[in-house]
Amino acid sequence: MKYFYTLFLLLLFGAACNQKVLSGKELEDKLKMTMTKHLQETMKPGTDVTVKDVMYYPEKMKDIYICTFVVRIKTPNSDTTGSMMALISRDFKKVTRTQ
């Protein structure tokens, strides 16, 4: 019986440590949040950035998401909306702007 409980606890810890796979709306929101954070860190102070929409493609061979964002950038002198392309890693820690 002691081995049964040990095995049960190991399986429980293994299942609890599994990373949840995001999809659909959750994935879009996470990509938007990641890009917003990256832009806020890299843009000049006083610039307001809003990510409005994202189109993405998961590239499984390189373990990244290829994304196109619709972004609104507002500075004290201008207000513009445009698109930006970026590569975001699967763990959402690395963002590389491509356009």
pTM: 0.74
Sheet holding 95-97: strands in order across? 48-59, 64-74, 79-89, 95-97
C-alpha 49/C-alpha 81 separation (Å) is: 10
Concatenated DSSP letters for 12-34?
HHHHHTSPPPP-HHHHHHHHHHH
Condensed to tens digits (0 to 9), the pLDDT of residues 28-86 reads 999 999 999 999 999 888 889 999 999 999 988 888 999 999 999 998 889 999 999 99
Structural domain spans, the chain:
21-97
Closest residue by Cα to residue 69 from 57, 59, 82, 79: 82
| C-alpha span between 75 and 54 (Å, rounded) | 22
Give 26-36 pLDDT, tens digit per residue: 889 999 999 99
